[in-house]
Structures are given as structure tokens and as C-alpha cells.
Amino acid sequence: MNHESDYYSKIDKLSQIARGLLDIHNAGRIHKDIHSGNILYYNDNFPYISDLGMCQPANNENQSVKQEGIYGVLPYMAPEVLRGYQYTKASDIYSFGIMMNEYISEETPYNNIPHNHALAIKICKGLRPNIFEYTPKLLADLITNCWDAKAENRPTAKELYQTLINKYNDRYEDSDTESQVNGYNDKIKLNRTSEKRSNNIQTHPQAIYTSRLLNFKNLPEPVNSDSECFDCQLDELDLLEINQDEENNTE
């Protein structure tokens, strides 16, 4: 995605992507592989969802996937899918939420840790990417709703599109959040400048952002984090817990 844009330009593009997802769902289909790498731009300005090769009819939504595993990009996959359940319209919405946060925060999800069984465990336990501190509340709430651990709590593609397009259309009358938007634009520009001056931001060598076959066993029941701050940093106790879980699952 092209991140060199301000807040309302991003809302415009996100609403267009949401409209594309709504069209897919209205056709009775599920995309199954929503992530930033599958968003392409026509004339560098008009986004559309690509790679429909995995797209399938929206049926048998509650059945388990066969033993061969699941296919996708781990950071964008809903926890119920990681646990072996079929992709659904709601799992597309989860993926959109991760992608939307990436676009708003300008930070690739989980770029500093391996994308492995350990990460799948933590996602099921409520781990989510950071929401940029200066993201206006309406967008932060929408992102959080999209990646709710309970699929039934996530908005529909229609609700997602309507929220985004209304936000964009009301931009000249949205005086209550004007300071938030200005604060966001200022801080995101500052972050861009800081990143260009720093060589400390590196993607972990085991952070994989291409679709691949995954097959995780014994993942916990998905829950939401009890923290108000979603943080993709793992402390030492988390790492010890994850390593133990991985050892148990390989026995």
C-alpha cells in the first residue's frame, strides 16, 4: 500500500477497498486472503482487491478444515481460522481490520517477531498489533471491532463500508475530531521522518508476508485481550510460555 497520504485520503481509499469486499460478499463469496499485498492500485490512486484465486462460495462456514491445513498470511488470519475452522465473511472482516490498522499506523503487523506457532498461540490469546496512539477514536474502535475474537461481534462488509464512506463524506463537518485528525497527520509525518533517519527498524527474518500452508495444533479458544493497549512486543515470560507450548505440541 502507498502510505504517503493524509488521514482523509486514507479513509477514501479504505472505503473503496471496503466497497470491493462488499461486492465480493454480496456475490455470496469469501475472499479468504485479504492482506496488504493483495491490494493493487490503478494509476496509483484507485485501489482494488486482487488475487481471487482462493475466493469460494460462502457456505459450510462452521465446519472444520481438513487435516492438510490452511493457506494464508499468518498476521492477517482470524483466530478461528488458525484453529482449523473454515474461512467466513467474518474472517475476511478480521483480515480487513488488520490491514486497515497497518494502513493507518503505517506499521506492518508483527514485523519484529517470527510468524510461527508461537504467534498463532498469542493471537488466539488476544494479541493484536499496536493501534497508533493518534488514530482518531472512530477508526480505532472500528479496527478493534473488526478483529474481535468473536466472529459474531465483527461488523459486516456493508457496515464497514458505510462507516468509512460516511466518515469521508462528513470530513468538512467533522469539527469534533478536527484536532485528532490534525494530530494524527502531524505525528505520522514525524514518524516517517524518524524512520528515514533510523536504521534500527528491521523486519524479523522469520516474519513471512506471503501466503503459505499452515497447520497448527491445539490452539487455545480465542479471546480478546483484557488490556486496553494492544502490543505486539513479547516479554520474557511470554517467550518462555510460548516455547513450552511449542515443545508440548511437538511431543
Q: Is 141 a catalytic residue?
A: no
Residue 193, CA atoms < 13 Å, CB-side half-sphere: 6
Reported as a pLDDT band with limits 50, 70 and 90, residue 100 is: very high
The pTM (predicted TM-score) of the whole model is 0.85
Q: What is the pLDDT of residue 3?
A: 45
Per-residue pLDDT, 119: 96
Return the amino acid letter for 103.
Answer: Y
Domain membership flag for residue 2: no
For residue 13, what is the domain's CATH number? Answer: 1.10.510.10
Mean pLDDT of 163-190: 84
> Which residue of the set 33, 92, 148, 245 is catalytic?
33
User: Which residues have a Cβ under 8 Å from the Cβ of 209 and sit 6 or more positions away?
Assistant: 35, 37, 73, 75, 108
Q: Provide the 8-state DSSP code for 218.
A: S
Asked if residues 76 and 108 have their Cβ atoms less than 8 Å apart, the reply is no
For residue 176, pLDDT beyond 70: no
Return the higher-pLDDT residue of 173 and 161. Answer: 161
Query: 3-state DSSP call for residue 89?
Result: helix
Q: Over the stretch 186-217, which tens digit does the pLDDT of each residue have?
A: 999 888 887 654 545 678 999 999 999 999 98
140 versus 193: the higher-pLDDT residue is 140
Per residue in 223-233, pLDDT (tens digit) is 998 754 444 44
Alpha-carbon distance of 74 to 233, in angstroms, equals 17
Rg from Cα positions in the chain = 18
Cα 122 to Cα 117: distance, rounded to the nearest angstrom: 9
Quote the pLDDT of residue 67: 54
175/121: higher pLDDT: 121
Range of the domain at 206: 7-250
Q: Are 94 and 101 in contact (CB under 8 A)?
A: no
* Choice between 179 and 245, residue whose per-residue pLDDT is larger: 179
- Percent of the chain topping pLDDT 70: 78
Buried b / exposed e along 150-179 (16+ C-beta atoms within 10 A): ebeebbebeebbbbbbebbeeeeebeebee
Would the CA dihedral through 95, 107, 131, 213 be positive or negative? Answer: positive
| CB 174, CB 31: distance < 8 Å | no
DSSP 8-state symbol, 87: P
Average model confidence (pLDDT) for the chain? 84
| Phi-psi group of 99: left, alpha or beta (phi > 0 → left; psi -120 to 50 → alpha; rest → beta) | alpha
Give the pLDDT confidence score for residue 51 in this predicted structure: 82
pLDDT of residue 55: 63
Secondary element (H or E) of residue 213: strand 212-214
Does 1 map to a domain? no
What is the number of domains present in the chain?
A: 1
65: left (phi over 0), alpha (psi -120 to 50) or beta: beta
